[in-house]
Amino acid sequence: MLVADNLVKKFGNVAAVNGISLSLKPQEVLGFLGPNGSGKTTTMRMLTGFMNPTSGSVTMDGIALADNPIAVKSQLGYLPEGAPLYLDMTVLDFLKFCGEIRGLHGAYLRERLDISIGLLQIEEVLGKRIEALSKGFKRRVGFAQAILHDPAILILDEPTDGLDPNQKFHVRQMIKQLSATKAILISTHLLEEVGAVCSRAMIIARGKLVASGTPLELCKLSPHYHAVLATAAPSVLKLLRSAFVGNPLVTGVEEVRVNNKLTAIRLLNHQPAELLAAVNQAARAQNWVFESLLLEQDVLDDVFRRVTGGDGRHA
Amino acid sequence: MLNRQKFLSAIGNFFADPVFVLIRRELNAYFANALAYVFLIIFLALAGTMTFTIGSFFERRLADLQPFFQFHPWLYLLLMPALTMRLWAEERKLGTHELLLTLPINLSTAVAGKFLAAWLFAGIALLLSLPLWFTVNYLGHPDNGVILVSYLSSWLLAGVMLAMGSAMSALTKNQVIAFILGVFLSFLFIASGSPIVLGFLQSWAPAWALHGLANLSLLDRYDQMTQGVIGLDSLLYFALLIYLFLQATIVIIHLKKTA
């Protein structure tokens, strides 16, 4: 288990990371979310031993990174931001180098090479120089390097950033597959990633933890979670609005406008099932036609904006 | 039998050591692009040209390699920083230092591995000039002891300048700046005892400072060594400089990645 306790990193007088603590357990995929520049990469650099924290500590299974960096680093697989690689090497030479410098050799090295190469599906580019590879293949090679030594912990800094949708899907599938045996920390600013792969997520802003929990728990932080969202013609929406303002089930009404045209009404509430039934009943009685009527589920972007100050309240 | 097994396993352990793995990667990197070949050709062409033209190899009618070795400091002034400019600057530019320094190896191992690869490469360049040694033996009866010492001195001087270049490469992401800084630093240590520098300082610097500066000069010590005079102090001085600049590389990388 990887534990970070109260990590602080200051550059001059500016604290890029200001008191982040986390623990990463086996078979867990922890999403590390935050706007660009919020301290995700700096935190990961401290977790992997690349940077020393100004204060705070990192331990793995009770061993402090500061006391025994080599023992801790040998159990970590790391994909740095942008997946930097030695461009002048061929894929196979690069992976062999990574294995050998980690002390793998002989039959075990060959076995681990076969497994990693197979998992990342990079057989066809093994003899190519890395500089000639596409972005997607480069990322896969970086990934292969990170899992080559079968580490207990994987730390992946924005593993899907800049990939096309197919490549993103493939990487996420792989993260899920690997999570069966490993503890994985991934940083991202893509919210869809959290629902897709993470069992738990932490949101940081300005170097501090601002929210954490399972994706569902995080969604519940938004008043939009399980709001009734009705999309219809403006005339219908106005009728809906006047009918439900003041209804005891409704705690708030928000208008959704696109190009200043009213396109939807959001009814905030604490009893979604009852409210949805009431809206349906009113629609039948009044012959309202909705383009869609649904309970909002995927509201992480709203949570993200609220807790990171992206809604202007903290700006 | 057991001893043989022990020996083989010791050899295996040596080649599996991270320093050796790193040296192999770095040497391969030199040969993976044209840099290695361009370097070797330029070194041999320039060393040869200087030996036979400015050095007046034939006109001196002496069977020795003094004309070959005497220009090495000036040749190395440009060539060694060219060899080291990419060492760390390129790693930082590509971001691969983040990969390298999160591997389970010490920073000192990484610094030593990269430096040793560059030093071995310089050694290869020197070895390629061996035909000159054979030629001198064919033409006359040189003092082969002095020539051997000269080769070792030249390699040691290359080591000092590579260590300096390594530290300068750690300072910046820009290889051109790393090269210029490397040339400048090497020049300071080579020329510190030269009449030009001492003459310039003579008017205002105190005598002890001038004496100290003259003692720092690599050129004087190198000239003595290539004439077959090896002082323990000179050997220690070269070794100390290599050690100090490798330590400086470690400190610079550490500060740069943390700041």
Rounded to whole angstroms, how far apart are CA atoms A296 and A269?
11
| A108-112, B27-31, B47-51, B99-103: the lowest-pLDDT one | B47-51
- Reply yes or no on whether the pLDDT at B185 is more than 80: yes
**H or E segment to which residue A79 belongs:** strand A76-79
pLDDT of residue B46: 84
User: Which residues in A lie closer than 8 A to residue B106 (C-beta atoms)?
Assistant: 70
pLDDT of residue A245: 87
A74–B contact, CB cutoff 8 A: yes
Average pLDDT over residues B91-110: 94
Q: Residue B8, by phi and psi: left (phi above 0), alpha (psi -120 to 50) or beta? A: alpha
Whether B96 sits inside 8 A of A85 (CB atoms) is yes
Average pLDDT over residues A233-260: 89
Nearest CA in chain A to B25: A97
Average pLDDT over residues B52-74: 72
pLDDT digits (tens, 9 = 90+) for A130-146: 999 998 899 999 999 99
pLDDT digits (tens, 9 = 90+) for A24-64: 999 999 999 998 889 999 999 999 999 999 999 999 999 99
pLDDT of residue A313: 47
Name the CA dihedral angle for A168, A154, A307, A309, rounded to a multiple of 10 degrees: -70
| A141-150, B78-87, B137-146: the lowest-pLDDT one | B137-146
- Reply yes or no on whether the pLDDT at B35 is more than 90: no
- Reply yes or no on whether the pLDDT at B124 is more than 70: yes
Between B142 and B236, residue with greater pLDDT: B236
pLDDT of residue B64: 66
Nearest CA in chain B to A50: B102
From the list B28, B102, B258, the residue facing A48 with the nearest CB is B102
Whether B99 sits inside 8 A of A76 (CB atoms) is no
A48–B contact, CB cutoff 8 A: yes
Q: What's the pLDDT band for A314 if we cut at 50, 70, 90?
A: very low
Average pLDDT over residues A275-300: 89
Of A151, A142, A16, which is closest to residue A81 (Cα–Cα)? A142
Provide the 10 A C-beta neighbour count for residue B96: 16
pLDDT of residue B137: 81
pLDDT of residue A55: 95
pLDDT of residue A5: 95
The pair of three-digit structure tokens given for residue A282, joined into one six-digit string = 């009113």
Choose, out of B11, B21, B109, the residue to mutate when testing the contact with A (most A CBs < 10 Å). Answer: B21
To the nearest whole Å, the CA of A57 is away from the closest chain B CA by 16
For residue A78, the cross-strand partners are A155
pLDDT digits (tens, 9 = 90+) for A182-219: 999 999 888 888 888 999 999 999 999 999 999 889 88
Q: What's the pLDDT band for B207 if we cut at 50, 70, 90?
A: confident
Average pLDDT over residues B30-52: 84
Whether B29 sits inside 8 A of A97 (CB atoms) is no
To the nearest whole Å, the CA of B105 is away from the closest chain A CA by 6
DSSP 8-state class, residue A259: T
The ipTM (two decimal places) reads 0.86
Q: What's the pLDDT band for B253 if we cut at 50, 70, 90?
A: very high
To the nearest whole Å, the CA of A53 is away from the closest chain B CA by 9
Rounded to whole angstroms, how far apart are CA atoms B73 and B222?
8
Nearest CA in chain A to B110: A101
- The answer to whether B115 and B246 are in contact (CB under 8 A) is yes
Q: What's the pLDDT band for A315 if we cut at 50, 70, 90?
A: very low
- Reply yes or no on whether the pLDDT at B138 is more than 90: no
pLDDT of residue B63: 60
User: Which residues in A lie closer than 8 A to residue B99 (C-beta atoms)?
Assistant: 78, 80, 84-85, 145
Between B170 and A306, residue with greater pLDDT: B170
pLDDT more than 70, % of chain B? 93
pLDDT more than 90, % of chain A? 59
Nearest CA in chain A to B20: A101
Query: What sign has the CA pseudo-torsion B187, B191, B192, B197?
Result: negative
pLDDT digits (tens, 9 = 90+) for A62-79: 999 999 999 999 999 999
Average pLDDT over residues B193-205: 76
From the list A50, A81, A82, the residue facing B102 with the nearest CB is A50
| A276-280, B175-179, B238-242: the lowest-pLDDT one | A276-280
Domain spans, chain B: 2-258
Whether A50 sits inside 8 A of B257 (CB atoms) is yes
User: Which residues in A lie closer than 8 A to residue B103 (C-beta atoms)?
Assistant: 73, 98, 101-102
Whether B21 sits inside 8 A of A85 (CB atoms) is no
Whether B98 sits inside 8 A of A45 (CB atoms) is yes
- The answer to whether A219 and A295 are in contact (CB under 8 A) is no
